[in-house]
Every structure is written in structure tokens, then in C-alpha cells.
Chain A
Amino acid sequence: MSDNQLLEVIERYLNGDMTAAERKEFELLRKENADVDEKVVEHQLFTNLLKQYAERVELESRLNAIHEEIDVHTLKEDLMVHPSWIVQLWRHHHSKISVAASVAIFAVLTGMFFAGYFANKEPGYEQLSNKLDRVEASTNQLNNKTNALAKQMGSKNHMRSPGNYRGSGFALSSNGYIVTNFHVVSGKFDSLYVQNADGDSYRAKLIYSAPQYDIAILKINDDSFENLPALPYNLKRSKSDVGEEVYAIGYSEGDSPVFDRGYVSSLNGYKSDSSEYRISIPVNPGNSGGPLINNKGSIIGVVSGKQTETEGASYAKKAGYLFKAIQNVPLDSLSGKLSLNNKNTLAGLSRVQQYKKMQKYVFMVKVY
């Protein structure tokens, strides 16, 4: 039996085309001949695979046909999870957005480069021109001042020399006696001037000094000086109390007197100096020699200094020691009567009014 014939027999057997007798005979042959049996099994497997393959192809074509009918594109649009419009926008247009962003950044940088280039220069020029303007203006101002000064000096006899002003002082009497601190006028000097709040300077001379109390008495010795109106304040001989409100007037800042307020913080001064009050007033070097006034307008002391290490600690010589100093002035050195004022016309006036009246009697002491 050739292979060809055997195959035909196997096929007939597998298809069930055999008669019962033939079938029996063939099954016997399968049992006896392993080779035949193997061929039967193999053929069956192979043809089944072929059939299944065909079925699969057919099924796939059916599925494909069904698939064709589905509108996949619309479904896809619907089913795509859209995270958020911004992410979507990015996904769809990220290349465009990137390009746009790059262009924008480039444009901004370019713009900044050019704008910045000018921006950096322009303010410079502006500033410079401003400065030039200012310089010009100040030069003009200076010229005007100089001219005015020259005129003034030509018309009036008043000496207005630049000078080093050292401190303040105040009038003791209307005829030109002025008290200041000894340390203001200590040391060598050629000449002494006092200047009032209006800016008029008068030559003065040192009458008496009491270094132990840090007090010096000057007398205006100038032809252009006219007697002051009657003094509105007096000297308070008795001691003041701690906590009493006090005021200081002094030339701590330029040409006009400065008014400061504080209180007596101790009856003893620097290193327990009993000739001084410790006061809590923000005073500056120019204040030295200025009056310390209580709220009634009486002089209670002469501002004399401040502690460098403690903020807000200043000192004033007690008025009682000023008295002592005045009493000690030798009569022969007086060029006019030194009569102290005992009437106080300031009491009851407002602070503003007191200051207005007082300021005429407070002088800047300049030493050359």
C-alpha cells in the first residue's frame, strides 16, 4: 500500500466513510502498526489545524466587517479622556506654543536689550542734567547771596563774618549782659560776637568767667546795639523738682534758635554734680549756654552739656549758681549796671507765645 493509498484510507477512516467491517480491520491495523497510528494522529491534527485556521480567518473577516460599521473616529473623540482644556491645548498645539513662546521670549529679550540700552543711558543723562541744573541754580543762589551780602555789608555796619559759632547765650539784662557757658568762650580767641534770632551780630566782650560753675558773662559792646526791651523772664533761685517740665532754647541748628522740650530727671548732674540738673532733653552742642526754662517762663538753669554715653542725658547749671556767679562779678569790670529782672511776664502764656517772646533774648555766641 503506497503512502498515497494509505492517506486515502486514513481520510476515509477519519471522515467516517468506512463500512463497519472496514473500520474494524483498519483499527486493528492501527493497533498493530504504530507507524500507521502515528500517521492517523498526525493527519488528524494537521487537518484540524487547517480547519481551525480557516475558521479563524473567517471569524476575523466577520469581526472586521462588523468593525467597519463602527464609527471609530467619533467614538475615539468621545472616549478620549480629556484631562483639562489646558493640557489638551498643550498636547494639540505644543509645537506652536513652543515656537510662539520662543519668539515671544526672543522679542522680549531683544526689546529689553534695546530699551534697556536706552533706559540705562537716559536716566544717567537726566540725572546729570538735573545735577547741572541744580549746580547752576545753586551757583545763581550763591551769587545772589553774595551780592546781597555785599550790599548789606556796604549799607550797614553790621559785621557778619562767617566765624565759628560755639554755643548759645541769653540776655541777663536789657542793656546787653549775656550769660553763656564758660566752656563756650574758654581758650584763646581774637574776638567774640553774639548774633540774635534776626541774624544781627554784635561784638561782645567777656566780662567775667566762673570756670567752677562753667559760667561766663559777656557784654555786648557794639555801637549798633540798641537796648533790648524789658526782659520778660526772671531767674528762679529756688530749686526745681524732678519731673518738672522744662524747655531749652538754643542755636543747635544753624541760624535760628531751636526749641526743645523735656523734664528735670535728677537734681544732681554729671557724676552727682550738685551744681547741675540732669535733664531729659535732646540737646546738641550748639545748645550750650542756652536757657533752661520751666513752664512758667522762669530760667531755672543754663544748658551745659550732655553725656556722650547715655542717650537723652543732658545737664544744666542750676540758676542758683548763675546768681552766685553774677554776684561775684567785680563791680569795676562792669561797663553798665547789671540789673536782674525780677518780673516774669511769661507765666500764663502759651508755649508758643513764650517762645516768641523769649527768642529775641537768646543769642548765638560766636568765637573767632
Chain B
Amino acid sequence: MNKELKDSAPTDSEVILGILNNSESALKRLYTAYFPMILQLIINNNGDEDDAKDIYQEAIIVLYNKVKAGDFELTSKLKTYIYSICRRLWLKKLSHHNRYGGDIRDFQEFLPVDDEDVDHHSDRDIQFNKMESALRLLGEPCKTIMEDFYIHNRSMQDICERFGYTNADNAKTQKYKCLQRLKKLFFQQK
């Protein structure tokens, strides 16, 4: 199994280039290459496979965002970086749930993690969670209008046709109202 993993493990630069180029296969190879390592860490430290999945995906997202943002500097092996991030995240989660016995069983070498990365990530998570519930509360058709216009960058013309608005002005008014509501819902949350 280990041999197989090594064979399929992409080189670190492949991964970074792949992320920058939105390569699906690179992401997949990255994901499958290091998941077993994290699964091993989590399940042998009071976690289950779902915890492993959550923690690992968070770490991948942290890496992904850092690479995308262009401020990722590879100072160690990518494997070590991912392991360290996951370790840090898992320790946080364990202590949050009071499950941390003060001792963690390690399987890889690791580096001290810059808490900034992790904290930034969790701040963003909070914002995203707010956005998610705001969108849910917004309801249709506003939600789709918002998504179409702001996320999928569709033109107002398209939106008019999809929702059967008689003229673009009506659609614009509707869009404006929807945006105002969304902002209100978003900022109301604490």
C-alpha cells in the first residue's frame, strides 16, 4: 500500500502548479496521496473517519487558498506541511471538545504551524457559514438571482429571460432588493 502511495504521490511542485492551473487531476492526486496519513493520525488519536475527512479537507482548503492567493512558500515537504496543519487543527478540535488527553500519537515529523494560517482559515469559515445561512434564509427566487449574477456572472439579460421578467429594469429592481435583503441577513448574524 505504501509503495502504491509513493508511486502515485505527486511531486510538490506538480501539486502547486496543478492548483494554480485548476487541475482536477492534480487536486485528486494530492488528495488521495496524503489522506491515509491523516486518517492514520486521526483514528489513532480519538477520532473517526469523518473527523479525518473534515480535518483533511480543511487542511487542503487552507493549502489551496494559500497557493491561490500566491503567498504560499514551500519551506518544507508538502507532506510535512499538510500533516502539521492537520495535527494543529485536530489538537484544536480535541481541546475544544475536551477530548484531548495531553498526548498525541504522531506518525510523521511535523513543524510548528503558523497559527495565522489556521486562524485566518477559521475566520473565513465563520464568514462562509454566515453567508450560507443568509442565502438559505433569502429563499427563491432571490437566491438564484444572486448566485447567477454575482457568482456565475450571468448577464441581466439572461436573468430576465430565466425568470420571465418583462423588462431589464424590473429585473434590476428585483436584484437590488434581493441584494439589500441578503446584506441585511448577512450582517444581522452574529
Q: Which residues of chain A have a CB within 8 Å of any CB of chain B?
A: 3-4, 7-8, 46-47, 49-54, 56, 59-60, 62-64, 66-67, 69-70, 72-73, 75-76, 78-81
Contacts and interface: CB of A to CB of B under 8 A. Distances in A.
Interface of B: 1, 24, 27-28, 31-32, 35-36, 39-40, 43-44, 49, 52-53, 57, 60-61, 64, 105, 124, 127-128, 131-132, 146-147, 150-151, 172-173, 176, 179, 183, 186
B57 A72 contact: no
A80 B44 contact: yes
B43 A76 contact: yes
Contacts of A70: 32, 35
A78 B4 CA distance: 14
B172 A8 contact: yes
A119 B150 CA distance: 91
Nearest to A15: B153
B interface secondary structure, majority: helix
A47 B31 CA distance: 29
Contacts of B1: 78
21 contacts: A4-B172, A4-B173, A8-B172, A49-B131, A50-B131, A50-B146, A50-B150, A52-B124, A53-B127, A53-B128, A62-B27, A63-B27, A64-B57, A66-B27, A66-B31, A67-B53, A67-B57, A69-B32, A70-B32, A72-B52, A80-B43
Contact of B186 (A4, A46, A66, A72): A46
Nearest to A7: B176
A51 B151 contact: yes
Contacts of A7: 176, 179
Contacts of B173: 4
Contacts of B176: 3-4, 7
Contacts of B43: 76, 79-80
